[in-house]
């Protein structure tokens, strides 16, 4: 029997957005198009907000996941992708193989997150071994079927799923590619579409990690050239 590899996994990327930061969405489409492992599909959930002046991220996760499996019933795995963050070209390929190696859990991600703050030009890594950040979380169909979703305007749905949902979970402590070269960055300190998504992490947290990047040197050497120009312009 032929061995199954990560590249055999059918992955659909879900972008839960409100449609209010079009430049970032276009950049995200480019990042996903340039992946070394081609996506099985891309679903952008940008329906009208149900709470115009509130975040409705739980609603967008829940309904977005349902839409993915309605459109792609043969989907193996959903990658939650946020339009303001950066993903390496090897992101999908690396995570697909890691998911397979970990036994195909229903909720999957990396137990630490790399962030970059544009305004203060600093980076830091946050460790959270029992969960993954929302923008680096992968889910199977079983997560759609759970009956313990919080209210639609609950702001921390990613943490809720990792803590409350009774499915198989795996937050991988380390992926080799991440240790020296981040495969994804949570971008903070931008202005476009501030209502949706998590609030910007404080400047103090960046400085306290002593990972300053005053000349954008680290950032420029980490992200692709077009992304660097895009984020530099924000």
pLDDT in tens, 24-39: 999 999 999 999 999 9
pLDDT in tens, 110-160: 999 999 988 888 888 888 999 999 999 999 999 988 878 999 999 899 999
User: Residue 157's pLDDT is what?
Assistant: 92
| Phi, psi (degrees; rounded to nearest 5) at 22 | -60, -35
Rounded Cα distance, 61 and 117, in Å:
25
**Residue 199: exposure state from Cβ atoms within 10 A (0-12, 13-18, ≥19):** exposed
User: Residue 225's pLDDT is what?
Assistant: 95
Residue 201 pLDDT exceeds 60? no
SS3 call for 108: strand
**pTM for the full predicted model:** 0.91
Which residues, 6 or more positions from 95, have their beta carbon under 8 angstroms from its beta carbon? 79, 108, 136, 138, 175, 183
pLDDT in tens, 77-119: 999 999 999 999 999 999 999 999 999 999 999 999 999 988 8
| Phi, psi (degrees; rounded to nearest 5) at 126 | -110, 130
At residue 208 the predicted structure's pLDDT band, cuts being 50, 70 and 90, is low
Q: How far apart are the first and last CA of the chain?
A: 51
| Domains parsed from the chain with CATH numbers | 6-232 (3.90.550.10)
Rounded Cα distance, 170 and 150, in Å:
21
Are 79 and 13 a contacting pair, CB within 8 Å?
Answer: yes
């Amino acid at each position: 029997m032929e061995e199954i590899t990560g590249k055999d996994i059918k992955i659909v990327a879900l972008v839960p957005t409100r449609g209010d930061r079009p430049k970032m969405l276009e950049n995200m489409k480019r990042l996903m198009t340039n992946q070394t492992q081609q996506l099985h599909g891309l679903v952008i959930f940008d329906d009208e907000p149900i709470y115009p002046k509130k975040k409705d991220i739980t609603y967008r996760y829940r309904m977005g996941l349902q839409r993915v499996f309605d459109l792609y019933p043969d989907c193996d795995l959903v990658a939650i992708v946020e339009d303001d963050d950066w993903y390496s070209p090897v992101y999908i390929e690396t995570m697909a193989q890691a998911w397979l190696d970990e036994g195909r859990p229903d909720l999957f991600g990396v137990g630490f997150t790399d962030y970059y703050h544009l305004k203060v030009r600093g980076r830091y890594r946050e460790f959270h071994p029992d969960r993954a950040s929302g923008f680096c979380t992968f889910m199977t169909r079983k997560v759609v079927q759970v009956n313990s979703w919080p209210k639609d305007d609950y702001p921390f749905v990613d943490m809720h799923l990792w803590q409350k949902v009774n499915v198989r979970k795996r937050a991988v402590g380390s992926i080799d590619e991440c240790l020296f070269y981040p495969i994804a960055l949570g971008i903070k300190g931008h202005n476009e579409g501030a209502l949706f998504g998590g609030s910007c992490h404080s400047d103090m947290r960046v400085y306290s990690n002593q990972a300053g990047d005053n000349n954008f040197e680290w950032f420029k050497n980490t992200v692709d050239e077009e992304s660097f120009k895009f984020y530099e312009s924000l």
